[in-house]
Amino acid sequence: MRLEEIKEIMKAMEENGLSSFEYQEGNIHISLRRGEGTTEYKQETEPVNEIKAENSINKENDETLEKNAPDKKNIEAGEPDKIVLSPLVGVFYKASSPEAEPFVKAGDRVSKGQVLGIVEAMKLMNEIESEYDGIVEAVLVDNEELVEYGQPLFRIR
């Protein structure tokens, strides 16, 4: 990642009142945090197996996951829901262009690796692929909605 891109992220964080930003792709992990006049930048070159987040972010994710928790009837039937989370902060798109049909909608059958949507970050379009085989039970975000790292995007059963 180039310095200009990092500066652009830092500027966007300040303009939007964000206190943290995390990005991971392959073996690159970037974590930016704003505090009292300081911004921290860290880039790791070894593979990252675990992403650490602030307690407040984890609490928000826990509350969101709890709100979107699978229905008890599915668990009792032996079919627990699976949640697809946003891997980064950005803008979510349901389709490849405004005129195109959505990649998926509730009720569609999906396969592991199938594109479910796109998250745009720093003018890069990142395809969100299904981690599961199943049926899309719900699309949990709206088109062009700003999404956070770890935010639930899809519920699949």
What is the per-residue pLDDT across 101-122, written as a single tens digit (0 to 9) for each?
Answer: 999 999 999 999 999 999 999 8
pLDDT value for 49: 42
What is the per-residue pLDDT across 1-13, written as a single tens digit (0 to 9) for each?
Answer: 667 777 788 788 7
Q: Is the pLDDT of residue 21 over 80?
A: no
Residue 64 to residues 6, 67, 70, 146, Cα–Cα distance (Å): 28, 5, 12, 15
Read off the pLDDT band of 54 (50, 70, 90).
very low
* Residues 139, 123, 97, 28, CA torsion sign: negative
Per-position DSSP letters for 67-106, written without gaps between them? HTPPPHHHHHTT---EEEEPSSSEEEESSSSTTSPPS--T
What is the per-residue pLDDT across 11-20, written as a single tens digit (0 to 9) for each?
Answer: 887 777 777 7
Token digits for 38?
Answer: 């300081």
Token digits for 105?
Answer: 């909608």
* Residues 108, 127, 129, 4, CA torsion sign: negative
Helix ranges (H only) for the chain are 3-16, 55-67, 72-76
| C-alpha–C-alpha distance, residues 116 and 119, integer Å | 10
